[in-house]
Amino acid sequence: MNRILRVSLLVFLLLAPIAQAKTPVARGTGGAAATISEQATQSAIAILDQGGNAVDAAVAAAATLGVTDPFSCGIGGGGFMVVYLAKDKRVITLDHRETAPAATPPTLFVEDGKAMDFDTAVASGLSVGVPGTVRGWHEALQRYGTMSFEQVLAPAIAVAEEGFVVDANFSQLVARNERKFNRFPATGALYLRNGKAIPTGTTLRNPDLARSYRALADGGVDAFYAGPMARAIVDTVNRPPTAPGVSVRGSRMTLADLANYEARMRLPVHSTYRGYDLYGMPLPSSGGVTVFEALNMLEGYDLASMSRAEVEHLYLEASRLAFADRDAYLADPEYVDAPVAGLLSKDYAARRRGLIDPQRAAPGAVAAGDPYPFQRDPSPPLRPAPRTLQPESAHTTHLTVADKDGTVVAYTFTIEDWGGSGMVVPGYGFLLNNELTDFDFIPPHPNIPEAGKRPRSSMTPTIALKDGRPAFSIGSPGGSTIITTVLQTIVNYVDLGMPMDQAIDAPRLSQRNGATTDIEPGYADSGQAKALMERGQRWSALAEEIGAANALVFNADGTVTAVSEGHRHGVGSAQVQKPLKNHTR
């Protein structure tokens, strides 16, 4: 344990002198990293500088994000990792999505025949899935990394122990969750002061999380899934420790649920788009399938010759159709035989494209199509009835890392809602997820709760190759808006020819088969918005930031450009191992 502490402090001291204002774009050679947190990006670069590979660095960055971005991610949640292995010249994916406990019924969120209130479900033990993050990190390091837990967790331990300065964005996120956090004393003690959000400028330390990370460094994956930490998780989920006078529902998670948790190695979903080979997460993530289906529709248009308004109109309508199919068919592949081959068929995309009016938006939700005739192994057709889009929290994080040898990691992980279920495990310093609210509440539906099932996700870590080599990676948080953020960024970059930083910073529009499209503040009065309104596009009344993307671009001259958000989520952080001086795009 003393050795771990010494390593942690050494890494912190190495990082501290280079602390500086966030830079959302960096170009150079060697390895590169982009995250939403300066400390997390520094952790990745520090591990690369010590000789670690991209997988090692990605886990180090993720662990640090669990300290500095705890309301989006952490060891109480789960995620999806897409990795291009340079040595093998292939793409693999690692699914460590949370699972429903063995005692979970299909009616988990049904009361008196009706769907439970969503916010009530979130802030409860009922919403907590069996966490998969630690198992995922273990599998990634064992299979594809070069370092131990002790080495890759050292930067995060240092940040948790020494603390970091809370910025305005962090404080605002806490303020939005004061009511939820006040229900749970362990959460309030960490993130509130006298019941109010921790103020900007405060140095926040999390010694309990540092101890949890040290336990993992010392005992490995079993320190999380068995023993005292596992018992504390189960106790918190089943008998939530609440403030006086507060009562929330508990669950029936067991130690066996934790001990039996398994990550999954899955084949990536693959598609092509204008000369790129695109690789993404398969089910239970719906992101890859939905983005690729929409791109297949858009591929039938000469977007490069069109105005921005024409392109964005077609993007919105393709997204609408793809979401109709996503909501109807996609769920955990171990429970549902989803028609993925049909949905990704270019011929099926041509049929769906025929429903798009290039001059006029659909007036509202459209029906799902019938992909079964396009399956390689046709199944009996399912023609689901349209239904209202299930709420999905918009709070996750994405990071991307590459090393000097060309291995690339695109990694999205989450605890779901801002602050997950709101419950910090007492004595261990991490928030538990509310991932089970990603299930549809009312049966029947492919995505209903079932024992051991993984809820459908929208996380969309994506890697693009061109001529067999990495071209770019992209991903974002944002609940179901993750899909549209990744889709729109690819269209901006590939079809509109924007540099990746401009493609990420451009105003985001999220159409998910609804009567209106979600937009960001200030967009409704813009010239872009008015041009789309002439085609019948309509905007939601509430405007909020959409996503917080991170990307890498592998340039023809052998350099790499790391790109993070230029204005959202307090501005992101991009770094390369060997920066170019006075570089331009």
Catalytic site residues?
396
Instruction: Give the span between the Cα atoms of 159 and 9, in whole angstroms.
Output: 9
Q: What are the distances in angstroms from CA 288 to CA 48, 268, 361, 532?
A: 28, 9, 24, 27
Tokens of 442: 């009312």
> What does the angle CA 341 – CA 342 – CA 346 come to, to the nearest 5 degrees?
95
Closest CA to 29 of 583, 476, 413: 583
Residue 564 structure tokens? 């993070």
Q: How many CA atoms lie within 13 A of 188 on its CB side?
A: 16
Please enumerate in sequence order all residues whose Cβ is within 8 A of that of 5, keeping only pairs 6 or more positions apart, or say none.
157, 161, 214
What span, in angstroms and rounded, lies between the C-alpha atoms of 396 and 405? 29
Helix (H) or strand (E) holding 393: none
Amino acid at 354: G
Please tell me whether the peptide bond between 131 and the residue prior to it is cis, using omega within 30 degrees of 0. Answer: no
* Residues in contact with 533: Cβ distance below 8 Å, sequence separation at least 6, in sequence order: 539
DSSP string, 372-384: GGG-SS------P
For 40, counting Cβ atoms within 10 Å of its Cβ (0-12 exposed, 13-18 middle, 19+ buried), the class is buried
Residue 32 burial (10 A CB sphere; 0-12, 13-18, 19+): buried
Handedness of CA 463, 96, 99, 377 (dihedral sign): positive
Helix (H) or strand (E) holding 143: helix 133-144
Nearest in space to 171 (alpha carbons), one of 315, 296, 71: 71
**Cα distance between residue 153 and residue 1, in whole Å:** 13
> Residue 414: which of 401, 433, 430, 399 has the closest Cα?
433
Residue 427 backbone dihedrals phi, psi, to 5 degrees: 85, -5
When computed from its CA atoms, the radius of gyration of the chain, rounded to whole angstroms, is 22
